[in-house]
Amino acid sequence: MLRKARAWQYCLILLLPLFAFQGCSESEPLTDNLVVGEIFPEIVMQQLDGGKVSIKHYRGKLVVLNAWATWCEPCRREMPNLQQLSDALNPEQFAVIGLAQDEDDHLVREYLLDQNVTFTSFIDPAGGIATDQLGIQIFPYTLIIGPDGRFIQRISGAREWQRQEVIELLEKAYAGDYSVLQ
C-alpha cells in the first residue's frame, strides 16, 4: 500500500509542472470566441483602484489589448516592448491596454511600477473577461480592436511591438486599412 501511495505521489510531482504553467505559452489557443470584422464584445474591465471601465470608452482609438500575467515569463519579456509601443503611438489615436490575469492587484501594481509601465492596465482576477468572455486560453495574448469597435486581429504569444514596421502597420489600420493586420 505504501509503495502504491509513493508511486502516486511521484506521478503527481512529475505532472505538476504541466498544470502549473498551463496558460503561459507562445502557442495557439484551443478556442476563441471572437470573429474578425464583428463588433468587439462589450466588456467592463476592473481598474487597479477598483473602478470599472467599459471597452466602449476607447471607441475612436485603435486598441491593442494585451492579456498577460505576472507569473507568465513570455508576458514579462513582452512588457517592455508594449511600453515602447505605447510611447511611440499618438495617445489621441491609440490605446495600449494591459489586462492582468492575477488575483492580487497590489502585486500587479508593484510589477508595473518596477517595470516603468505607464500604459493603462486593468485586472481580471477571476479570468472572467479573458477566459470566459473572450475565450483566451494562453498568455500573452493580444487583441487588436479598430476605432469603429470592430475586432481586427488576434496575436498569440510575445511579440516585438516596438519595431517601426509594427507601428506603421498599426497606423495604417487606424486610418482604416485593416487588411494590413490580416
Nearest to 95 by CA among 137, 128, 47, 143: 143
pLDDT at 32: 57
Structural domain count of the chain? 1
pLDDT higher than threshold 50 for residue 19: no
pTM check: above 0.85: no
Q: How confident is the model at residue 18 (pLDDT cuts 50, 70, 90)?
A: very low
Residue 48 belongs to some domain of the structure: yes
Q: How confident is the model at residue 182 (pLDDT cuts 50, 70, 90)?
A: confident
CATH of the domain at 136: 3.40.30.10
Name residue 44's beta-bridge partners.
54
Residue 16 belongs to some domain of the structure: no
Q: Which residues contact 85 (CB under 8 A, 6 or more apart)?
A: 64, 96, 161, 162, 166, 167, 170
Residue 4 belongs to some domain of the structure: no
Residue 161 belongs to some domain of the structure: yes
pLDDT tens digits, 33-84: 789 999 999 999 999 988 999 999 999 999 999 999 999 999 999 999 999 9
For residue 28, what are the domain limits? 24-181
